[in-house]
């Protein structure tokens, strides 16, 4: 069944307007908070992120405490989005992939689909053979980081279609973030952040022309 | 200005339905093609992907030729999405980041915003100091790959809200793809793929329960 047979999804023009509307917000209006229903949906969107094999090798840390945000600020080149945005999310990726991670997914799949775990043994074998004993084992941490960036891409687009502003941030000191957030030894490390909220009327970046290469440069039909 | 003041964007429930509706489509209906206006929007969505510093260190290859798709099939574990989907996109990331890449962006920014390139010298300096001479220089290829995964996340979500099915694919042999697509020596290498189109009524995966960890497991408020 096509989605547009069951619900009012966006038409192409509306999606394009949302994507044109979004930009990396530099100045957030610190007085505006994301309404709870919108935030719950963005949180669900993070959870629903597609990942390779479905392994979900990440955690999303929502930094609610103003004190902790203030502590992160100097490790973020003092970018005020960290403290002014309604929500500030740190994306942490698994630092390795183990059989325990694979077994956790097998267990959940078995439960969610009400099928015996044994029936998933070939699926399990493929994951172990690739990520633990195979070609991707050496880059497992990086593989997990890549999945985390899918979550970032998903979140930014979801925010845009809901009319929420966002600012992705790689400009921070991961080692300091890991220390402040107690991630050392947790099996996860901070890789990227995203501030969410509403743009300030004073953000001059909102009015700047978007800079993108030509479609003919970025997209080739072969 | 909030987006919902200027257009009919999605409400949270509609977005959630779209994200629940999507899944990694295993069987595409080979007879159904994405209408041109929808495809043009998905292509624009790729171009509009946010990237770090705005450097857009990627190319999107749309594999249109049935012969070339057939050639890729054996290097894709014979996953039929490669040949059956309406559109099949190979995401290629830059293999390095050079001053020429930075200067290209400076030139485009100067042109798009009608400001002198000289006024962007500190912005240029930050990019060069980070990606070419600084901390990220050693992982520049991987950094480019991460940006490419933002594009993948963005594309999958855009497809979902337009009612288009998608299947992200890491299960292919990048070296063979690079050979078939003539990427060797181009400065780009294939990193991930995405098939787009419409699910077949015979895809039993469409009806399976989604497997995601609990929000309380993936999202922490700190």
Q: How far is A118 from chain B (nearest CA, A)?
A: 17
pLDDT > 50? residue B31: yes
Residue B20 lies in a domain: yes
- Which residues, at least 6 apart from A52, have a Cβ–Cβ distance to it below 8 Å? A143, A146, A147, B168, B170
Residue B71 belongs to what domain range? 15-218
Q: Hey, what are B2's tokens? A: 């909030």
What's phi and psi for B168, nearest 5 deg? -75, 145
Of B15, B54, B56, which has the smallest distance from its Cβ to A161's Cβ?
B15
Sign of CA dihedral A47, B25, B57, B92: positive
Looking at chain A, the number of H-run helices and the number of E-run strands are 10, 5
pLDDT > 50? residue B6: no
Contact A154, B153 (CB under 8 A): yes
Percent of chain B, pLDDT > 70? 96
A168 touches chain B (CB under 8 A): yes
Distance CA B24, CA B128 (A): 38
- pLDDT score recorded for residue A6: 47
pLDDT digits (tens, 9 = 90+) for B71-92: 999 999 999 999 999 999 999 9
- pLDDT score recorded for residue A135: 83
DSSP calls for B6-67? HS----HHHHHHHHHH--B-SSB-TT----HHHHHHHHHHHHT---GGG---EEEEE---HH
**Substitution target from A120, A150, A155 for chain B, most B beta carbons within 10 A:** A150
pLDDT > 90? residue B51: yes
- pLDDT score recorded for residue A88: 98
Residue B5 lies in a domain: no
**Tally of domains in chain B:** 1
Distance CA B71, CA B75 (A): 8
Radius of gyration of chain B (CA): 20
Question: CA-based angle B191:A18:B198, to the nearest 5?
Answer: 55
Residue A170 lies in a domain: yes
Contact A44 B2 (CB under 8 A): no
Of A50, A65, A212, which has the smallest distance from its Cβ to B156's Cβ?
A50
CATH of the domain at A66: 3.40.109.10
Contact B14, A9 (CB under 8 A): yes
Edge-to-edge strand ranges of the sheet holding B188-197:
A219-221, B58-62, B87-94, B188-197, B165-169
- Residue A92 pairs in a beta bridge with A59, A190
pLDDT digits (tens, 9 = 90+) for B126-157: 999 999 999 899 999 999 999 999 999 999 99
- pLDDT score recorded for residue A126: 96
Counting as low any pLDDT under 50, the low residues of chain A are: 5-6
Contact B153 A152 (CB under 8 A): yes
B153 touches chain A (CB under 8 A): yes
Query: Other CB atoms closer than 10 Å to residue A49's CB: what's the count?
Result: 24
Interface confidence (ipTM) of the complex: 0.97
A193 touches chain B (CB under 8 A): no
A204 touches chain B (CB under 8 A): no
B8 CB neighbours in chain A (<8 A) are: 14
- Lowest pLDDT segment from A142-146, B9-13, B43-47: B9-13
Residue B184 lies in a domain: yes
Radius of gyration of chain A (CA): 20
Contact A158 B48 (CB under 8 A): no
- pLDDT score recorded for residue B216: 97
- pLDDT score recorded for residue B9: 77
Q: How far is A66 from chain B (nearest CA, A)?
A: 10
Q: Which residue of B has its CA nearest to A38?
A: B12
- Per-residue pLDDT band for B105 (boundaries 50, 70, 90) equals very high
Residue B9 lies in a domain: no
Residue B163 lies in a domain: yes
Q: Hey, what are A157's tokens? A: 């687009």
- pLDDT score recorded for residue B135: 83
What's phi and psi for B173, nearest 5 deg? -100, 100
Residue B111 lies in a domain: yes
- pLDDT score recorded for residue B189: 98
Residue B154 lies in a domain: yes
A93 touches chain B (CB under 8 A): no
Distance CA B127, CA B218 (A): 32
Residue B52, CA distances (Å) to A169, B102, B150 in order: 8, 12, 10
Of A13, A153, A181, which has the smallest distance from its Cβ to B149's Cβ?
A153
């Amino acid at each position: 069944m096509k989605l547009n047979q069951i619900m009012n999804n966006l038409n192409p023009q509306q999606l394009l307007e949302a994507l044109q509307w979004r930009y990396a917000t530099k100045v957030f209006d610190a007085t505006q908070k994301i309404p709870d229903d919108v935030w719950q949906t963005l949180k669900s969107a993070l959870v629903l992120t597609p990942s390779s094999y479905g392994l979900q090798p990440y955690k999303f840390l929502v930094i609610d405490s103003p004190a902790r945000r203030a502590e992160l600020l100097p490790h973020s080149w003092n970018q005020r989005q960290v403290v002014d945005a309604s929500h500030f999310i740190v994306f942490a990726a698994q630092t390795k992939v183990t059989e325990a991670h694979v077994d956790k997914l097998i267990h959940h799949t078995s439960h969610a689909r009400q099928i015996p775990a044994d029936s998933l043994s070939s699926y399990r074998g493929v994951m172990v053979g690739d990520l633990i004993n195979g070609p991707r084992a050496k880059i497992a941490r990086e593989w997990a980081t890549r999945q985390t960036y899918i979550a970032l891409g998903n979140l930014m687009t979801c925010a845009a279609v809901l009319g929420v502003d966002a600012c992705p941030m790689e400009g921070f000191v991961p080692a300091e973030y890991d220390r402040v957030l107690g991630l050392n030894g947790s099996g996860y490390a901070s890789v990227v952040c995203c501030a969410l909220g509403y743009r300030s009327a004073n953000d001059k970046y909102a009015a700047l022309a978007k800079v993108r290469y030509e479609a003919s440069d970025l997209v080739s039909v072969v």
